[in-house]
């Protein structure tokens, strides 16, 4: 390749020298054309359209090989040069575009100062170089000799005799390198929208702000979408993704597409081999101490038919590309929630019949992955469990007065709902029908959602016709359990409320900024401390 490159350059130089020789032989005419032409392009056209007589060039082109071989003029012409340029059969020379350009680039003073002997001698040297390069390409033994000679020079310059030691060590130990080995551990802010768009952003993009700061937008969403989950995790952390079919898929944070604040992200359903009708409805990050899949922590799951199951986290420490069965489901049943627990919390189940049951998670013994689970709530055949919540540990003593009060927000299909202190939901035995969470009347209709909220939170209400209403939790007054609630949203005739969700956009704007070193989406770093993360219904 080096010889071919050098040969191409030598042919181009020889071609230019021929043009300079033509100009030297007709110097007066060349100068007149250049001076009289209004523009350089006109001068170039005039030089190229004329045929030039040059005894000097004819002598330069009359040569014989040193070995007595026959001269092939094409061996010395530049690649791609048309036949019409150069010395013609009539003994006249026609300049190419390249030659005319080189002549016009020269100052007139330099053009008139061209020396015939210098041009002829350089031309002879270039032709000799072309002959040598052609000989190298024609003889493989010469190529081998050149390589050997050059390697000998390298050895003499860099070998042991010169520096006393090798500059490199050749080892025969092969190692497999995973893609993750090339990923720098970095804290990322991961967001998942209600429509299922997921993306990550470096935590470093969120600078710390003083209390009351306006924050920064974490993700762009359409009018009919909002941020459903937001958490901070390291690029090497796992995210457990549960589907409504009871399957578990693993995702590393570095596999989540990185996006800007103005991007929506990528549909999470496109990241797994889901079957028809299957969708991801619960996402749990494993951060902090959870990264090692500790056996004393659990994944607590609930299904629409009231079945619950608790499985040790270490049962899920063997990721598989195609996913695994996290819970076996009966025909028509599907997973409605999953959460990480530490064995010290209460679990709450809510049915669409307006009932709720609260029990100690230790009432459910740990089961293997292949197990079906046990009854968590007794429901009628026409009813379904619509939400699973993990109750935070209640604060006692002096701190109880200043601790944030958690409440349960329930909503019904006819647009009614209420907020009730979580303390009003007392423990009952697992597998019972539970207590009244909200009165199910003809006015209310079925319960469609239940979630844990604080007074400063905001929620998003969505109807089956696609109407969205965003409202502050503080505007919904607290009421007792056995009440009908108040109007949450005004519905058009025939429309139904299909769900509600606590909005975490405020966490994106404030929580990350203010807790940029240790805080999570809720500002309390639950995941890092091993406390439960709420399931998503």
Write down the domain spans for the chain: 2-152, 179-529
Instruction: For residue 371, name the pLDDT band (cuts at 50, 70, 90).
Output: confident
Q: Could you tell me which residues come within 8 angstroms of residue 125 by beta carbon, excluding any fewer than 6 positions away?
A: none
Of the candidate ranges 158-162, 228-232, 409-413, the one whose mean pLDDT is the lowest: 158-162
Do residues 289 and 340 touch, judged by C-beta distance below 8 A? no
pLDDT of residue 261: 72
Instruction: For residue 69, name the pLDDT band (cuts at 50, 70, 90).
Output: low
Residues 289-300, mean pLDDT to the nearest whole number: 92
pLDDT digits (tens, 9 = 90+) for 393-440: 664 544 544 445 789 999 999 999 999 999 999 988 899 999 999 988
Q: How far is Cα 195 from Cα 191, in angstroms, rounded to an integer?
A: 12
Q: How far is Cα 298 from Cα 347, in angstroms, rounded to an integer?
A: 13
pTM higher than 0.85, yes or no? no
Instruction: For residue 498, name the pLDDT band (cuts at 50, 70, 90).
Output: confident
Q: How far is Cα 389 from Cα 411, in angstroms, rounded to an integer?
A: 15
Distance from CA of residue 199 to its chain's centroid? 8
Instruction: For residue 494, name the pLDDT band (cuts at 50, 70, 90).
Output: confident
Taking phi over 0 as left and psi of -120 to 50 as alpha, with beta for the rest, 323 belongs to left
pLDDT digits (tens, 9 = 90+) for 321-368: 889 999 999 999 999 999 999 988 999 999 999 999 999 999 999 999
Nearest to 127 by CA among 14, 209, 23: 14
Do residues 326 and 371 touch, judged by C-beta distance below 8 A? no
Q: Which two tokens stand for residue 17?
A: 């020298």
pLDDT digits (tens, 9 = 90+) for 164-206: 566 677 777 767 777 777 888 998 888 888 888 899 988 887 6
pLDDT of residue 232: 86
Q: If one looks up domain 179-529 in CATH, what number appears?
A: 2.120.10.90
Give percent of the chain above pLDDT 90: 47
pLDDT at 536 over 80: no
How many residues are there in the chain? 537
Q: How far is Cα 61 from Cα 107, in angstroms, rounded to an integer?
A: 27
Do residues 452 and 534 touch, judged by C-beta distance below 8 A? yes
pLDDT of residue 513: 43
- We find that the CATH architecture of domain 2-152 is Orthogonal Bundle (1.10)
Q: How far is Cα 403 from Cα 401, in angstroms, rounded to an integer?
A: 6
In our burial notation (b when 16+ CB lie closer than 10 A, e otherwise), range 320-352 reads eeebbebbebeeebbbbbbbbbbeebbbbbbbb
pLDDT of residue 162: 53
pLDDT of residue 215: 46
Q: How far is Cα 147 from Cα 376, in angstroms, rounded to an integer?
A: 79
Residues 484-513, mean pLDDT to the nearest whole number: 75
Mutual orientation of helices 116-138 and 140-158 as an angle, nearest 10°? 100
pLDDT at 520 over 70: no
Mutual orientation of helices 2-25 and 27-36 as an angle, nearest 10°? 90
């Amino acid at each position: 390749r080096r010889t071919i490159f050098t040969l191409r350059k030598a042919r181009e130089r020889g071609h230019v020298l021929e043009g300079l020789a033509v100009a030297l032989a007709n110097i007066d005419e060349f100068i007149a054309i250049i001076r009289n032409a209004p523009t350089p392009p006109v001068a170039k056209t005039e030089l190229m359209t004329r045929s030039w007589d040059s005894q000097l060039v004819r002598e330069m082109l009359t040569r014989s090989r040193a070995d007595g071989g026959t001269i092939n003029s094409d061996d010395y012409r530049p690649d791609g040069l048309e036949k019409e340029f150069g010395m013609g059969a009539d003994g006249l020379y026609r300049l190419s575009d390249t030659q005319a350009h080189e002549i016009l680039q020269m100052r007139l003073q330099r053009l008139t100062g061209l020396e015939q002997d210098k041009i002829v001698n350089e031309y002879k040297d270039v032709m000799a170089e072309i002959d040598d390069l052609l000989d190298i390409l024609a003889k493989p033994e010469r190529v081998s000799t050149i390589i050997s000679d050059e390697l000998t020079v390298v050895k003499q310059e860099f070998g042991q005799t010169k520096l006393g030691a090798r500059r490199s060590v050749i080892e025969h130990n092969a190692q497999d390198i995973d893609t993750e080995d090339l990923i720098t551990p970095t804290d990322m802010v991961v967001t998942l929208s209600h429509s299922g768009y997921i993306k990550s952003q470096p935590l470093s993009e969120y600078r710390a702000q003083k209390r009351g700061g306006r924050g920064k937008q974490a993700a762009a969403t359409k009018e009919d979408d909002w941020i459903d989950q937001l958490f901070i995790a390291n690029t090497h952390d796992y995210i457990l993704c549960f589907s409504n079919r009871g399957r578990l898929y693993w995702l590393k944070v570095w596999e989540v597409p990185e996006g800007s604040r103005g991007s929506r992200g990528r549909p999470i359903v496109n990241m797994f081999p889901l079957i028809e009708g299957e969708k991801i409805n619960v996402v749990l990050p494993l951060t902090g101490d959870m990264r090692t899949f500790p056996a004393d922590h659990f994944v607590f799951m609930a299904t629409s038919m009231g079945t619950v199951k608790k499985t040790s986290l270490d049962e899920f420490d063997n990721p598989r590309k195609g996913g695994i069965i996290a819970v076996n489901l009966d025909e028509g049943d599907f997973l409605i929630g999953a959460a990480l627990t530490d064995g010290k919390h209460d679990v709450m189940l809510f049915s669409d019949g307006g009932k709720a049951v609260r029990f100690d998670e230790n009432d459910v013994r740990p089961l293997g992955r292949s197990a079906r689970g046990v009854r968590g709530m007794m429901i009628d055949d026409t009813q379904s469990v619509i939400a699973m919540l993990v109750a935070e540990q209640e604060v006692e003593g002096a701190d109880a007065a200043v601790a944030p009060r958690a409440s349960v927000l329930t909503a019904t299909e006819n647009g009614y709902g209420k907020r009730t202190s979580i303390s009003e939901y007392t423990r009952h035995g697992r597998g019972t029908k539970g207590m009244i969470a909200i009165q199910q009347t003809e006015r209310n209709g079925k319960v469609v959602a239940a979630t844990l909220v604080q007074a400063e939170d905001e929620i998003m209400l969505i109807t089956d016709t696609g109407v969205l209403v965003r409202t502050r939790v503080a505007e919904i007054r607290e009421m007792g359990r056995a009440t009908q609630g108040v109007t949450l949203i005004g519905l058009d005739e025939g429309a139904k409320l299909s769900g509600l969700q606590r909005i975490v956009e405020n966490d994106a704007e404030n929580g990350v900024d203010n807790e940029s070193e240790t805080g999570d989406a809720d500002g309390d770093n639950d995941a890092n401390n091993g406390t439960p993360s709420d399931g998503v219904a």
